[in-house]
Amino acid sequence: MTVTKFDTPVIGKRQTLPEELAGIIMRQIEGGDFKPGDVLPSEQSLANTFNVSRTVVREALARLKFEGVIESKRGSGPVVRGIDARKTFTLPSAFSSKSERAQIIEFRLIMEGESAALAAARRTQEQVDVLRDYLENMRLAIENKTSGLVPDYRFHCLIAEAAHNEYITSFIKFLSSKMLGGVQEARSLSNKDLKRASMVLEEHSVIYDAILRQSPEDARAAVYAHLMSSAKRQGIELTGPLRYSTDD
- The enclosing domain of 180 has a CATH number of 1.20.120.530
Is residue 154 located within the same domain as residue 188?
Answer: yes
Q: Quick one: pLDDT at residue 180?
A: 65
Is residue 72 located within the same domain as residue 113?
Answer: no
Q: Is 246 among the domain residues? A: no
Q: Is 199 among the domain residues? A: yes
Is residue 81 located within the same domain as residue 102?
Answer: no
The domain total for the chain is 2
Confidence tier at 77 by pLDDT (50, 70, 90) = confident
Is residue 78 located within the same domain as residue 110?
Answer: no
Is residue 111 located within the same domain as residue 71?
Answer: no
pLDDT reading at 76 higher than 60: yes
Global pTM reads 0.62
Q: What is the pLDDT of residues 131-154, one digit of tens each?
A: 999 999 999 998 888 878 889 989
Q: What CATH number corresponds to the domain at position 61?
A: 1.10.10.10
Is residue 221 located within the same domain as residue 166?
Answer: yes
Q: Quick one: pLDDT at residue 124?
A: 97
Is residue 102 located within the same domain as residue 163?
Answer: yes
Q: What is the pLDDT of residues 179-235, one digit of tens each?
A: 765 565 555 555 567 888 899 999 999 999 999 999 999 999 999 999 999 888 888
Is residue 210 located within the same domain as residue 151?
Answer: yes
Q: What is the pLDDT of residues 108-132, one digit of tens each?
A: 999 999 999 999 999 999 999 999 9
Q: Domain range spanning residue 227?
A: 98-233
Q: Kindly write down the DSSP assignment for every residue of the chain, as one continuous string.
A: --B-----PPP-SSS-HHHHHHHHHHHHHHTTSS-TTPBPPPHHHHHHHHT--HHHHHHHHHHHHHTTSEE--TTSS-EE--GGG--S----S---SHHHHHHHHHHHHHHHHHHHHHHHHH--HHHHHHHHHHHHHHHHHHHHT---HHHHHHHHHHHHHHTT-HHHHHHHHHHHHHTHHHHHHHHHHHHHSHHHHHHHHHHHHHHHHHHHTT-HHHHHHHHHHHHHHHHHHTT----STT---TT-
